[in-house]
Structure 1
Amino acid sequence: MASSVGGNGYSDVTRVDEVGLEHVPDVIQNYHICVVKNKCIDSDIIAKATKMKIIMQYGVGLEGVDINAATEQKIKVARIPGSTTGNAIACAEMAIYLTLGVLRKQKEMDTAVIQKDLGLPVGETIFGKTILILGFGAIGMEIAKRLRPFGVKILATKRNWSSYTVSCDLDGLVDKKGGPEDMYELAREADIVITCMTLNNESVGIVDHKFLSALKKGSYLINIARGRLLDYTAVFNHLESGHLGGLGIDVAWTEPFDPEDPILKFPNVIITPHVAGITEYSYRTMAKVVGDVALKLHAGEPFTEIEFVN
């Protein structure tokens, strides 16, 4: 869905239209703001956006927007920071939901209910586990806050820890921290890995054969960021061999994901339909940001609610 704001010139009326995905290329020239959810805004579409001032993701991830093409056309591209809208909190809750789901063997429990088996399966507790958070941004921090009461040890990677004004160690959130270069060493200690990194050219497929092989046998993998952070073949092979104890994903390699994909046949794999950040609260707060931006663009005022990337 593409939701756009604008009209003919800057009149006293701000018009909001919901446009079907297939119609976006035909009408985008009429709008000043394009609010992206799942539509890929490529260079061909951007070339037609002759009135466009801002392309804004309804959330955080901008991999579907051709930022270079937008920059060349003097269109600003922005995301809505998850730390201000409840998106990061919602994603953190989903990460814990998926973690508990694979530990307690959700698929096997569903089967046990159908077969009227009581007391099965025997799951695992999260208590005492060592959890590695790959990408300690807004979502990673919210995950750590919520995991701490479970009695776990938390490891985390972040490209630049100096960006925090207060040490996360002093806050008691992280027991051991490192940079991307430390992820293999930290993986050897982890019972559970939660990926919440940004997807870019450097991070595509970063959870690969080398990384998964560094994990303990039986470790669990959770992904609530972007599907392509995980190397599909490596994940499949490590599930098949039993080296990977379980997989919980809210995002997939292609979306919507094929419900007949072989990776979903494993009893220790659970998937949700890319809903980690989708809650009534997060959508309502993001909608307010979109409205405020539209009004400020109309009035020629500066923006403080969104984060520009170009």
Structure 2
Amino acid sequence: MFKIAKATLRNRNSSVASLFYSIQARSISRQSKVVKIERMVEKEDMHVTRVLFCGPHFPDSYNFTREYLQPYPFIKVDVVHYRDVPEVIKNYHICVAMTMQMDSNVISRASNIKLIMQYGVGLDGVDIDAATKHGIKVARIPSEGTGNAASCSEMAIYLMLGLLKKQNEMQISLRNRLLGEPTGDTLLGKTVFILGYGNIGIELAKRLKPFGSRVIATKRFWPASIVDSDSRLVDEKGSHEDIYTFAGKADIVVVCLRLNKETVIFPLLLHHKLVKQMNMKSCSWQ
């Protein structure tokens, strides 16, 4: 990624590349504005490296980037609503996709784009083949070592607890000044099936163990490094051929697969074919 950013910015200060790795390390909460299209390109900006954030969601991402780049006047950041991106993307050199669907039509208009960057791991919204065809590099922030996987796994824990503790019903009870209802459940003793034991799956297993949960997981193949270092985290291992069997043992299923043509069908299969095999007494989905 460093080499990509360095090549993209030519002889500019290469430290700018590091912002894409540190972009999730800080949080700056303040209001941000989406730029107006007619103001985006001015004559004095002809020698400026222009960065496009496909907005308007996740405002901390571009707020932090703008603050980080204040010492670098030759790099400017704009935030454009995703519906307007196809019309203006030709005016930019770097595009941060966010939740924008970067399909072949949008990419074909990106005549000056050198890099499509994702603010996170998922590149399922980017047509990588089309980008490659147009000579555009595609990159992402890796989940390992950046806080990304940890953040996702913590969100999964939060959702599990919310379901088990019946969070919505509990809020209603509190508003009605009722205590002790509904009666929630615990992660203690629950079997959690992690479908796709990658970086997020590993971080999730680390957090489930202190709750007293039994962790079972499937992975396409198990490298020796994972088996040796993280064997204590998983009580039972399997491959994707075992998903039906493992689902039948699980109280909770967490899908941690990268979304692509091969895996897009898994959630649908789980919903329609596996519900009856799961422990229906206490069944949760993430």
User: Deviation of residue 217 (structure 1)?
Assistant: 1.4
| 8 A Cα contact 1:2 1:36, kept in partner | no
Matched, 1:109 2:170: yes
Task: Give the match's secondary structure for 1:56.
Answer: strand
Residue 165 of structure 1: which of 215, 218, 225 is its match? 225
Task: Give the match's secondary structure for 1:17.
Answer: strand
| Runs of 5+ consecutive residues of structure 2 not aligned to the other structure | 1-32, 36-40, 50-72
Which structure has more relative contact order (CA 8 Å, sep 6+)? It is 1
User: Deviation of residue 169 (structure 1)?
Assistant: 6.7
Bigger Rg, which one: 2
Query: One-letter code of the match for 1:135?
Result: G
| 8 A Cα contact 1:135 1:197, kept in partner | yes
Question: Residue in 2 aligned with 1:149?
Answer: 210
CA distance in 1, matches of 2:133, 2:259: 22
Question: Residue in 1 aligned with 2:122?
Answer: 61
Over the aligned positions, Cα root-mean-square deviation in angstroms equals 2.4
| 8 A Cα contact 1:70 1:77, kept in partner | yes
CA distance in 2, matches of 1:78, 1:2: 24
- State the TM-score, normalizing by the size of structure 1: 0.65
| 8 A Cα contact 1:92 1:142, kept in partner | yes
User: Deviation of residue 144 (structure 1)?
Assistant: 0.4
CA distance in 1, matches of 2:120, 2:271: 27
Question: Residue in 2 aligned with 1:186?
Answer: 246
Residue 141 of structure 2: which of 64, 72, 80 is its match? 80
Task: Give the match's secondary structure for 2:102.
Answer: coil
User: Deviation of residue 123 (structure 1)?
Assistant: 1.2
CA distance in 2, matches of 1:205, 1:92: 22
| 8 A Cα contact 2:164 2:185, kept in partner | yes
Q: 1:114 to 1:168 in 2, by over 3 A?
A: farther
Q: Deviations over 1:12-34 (max 9, x none)?
A: 92222222223211221122211
User: Deviation of residue 171 (structure 1)?
Assistant: 4.3
| 8 A Cα contact 1:157 1:177, kept in partner | yes
Task: Give the match's secondary structure for 1:110.
Answer: helix
Aligned residue pair count: 220
Which shifted more, 140-149 or 197-206? 197-206
CA distance in 2, matches of 1:28, 1:214: 48
CA distance in 2, matches of 1:9, 1:94: 42
CA distance in 1, matches of 2:135, 2:252: 43
CA distance in 2, matches of 1:218, 1:199: 29
CA distance in 2, matches of 1:168, 1:215: 30
Question: Residue in 2 aligned with 1:22?
Answer: 83
Considering fraction of residues, name the structure with more helix.
Answer: 2
> Equivalences for 1:82-97 in 2 at 5 Å?
82-97=143-158
Which shifted more, 195-204 or 142-151? 195-204
Residue 198 of structure 1: which of 240, 254, 258 is its match? 258
Runs of 4+ deviating beyond 4 Å = 6-12, 168-171
Question: Residue in 1 aligned with 2:6?
Answer: none
CA distance in 2, matches of 1:2, 1:82: 28
Query: One-letter code of the match for 1:179?
Result: S
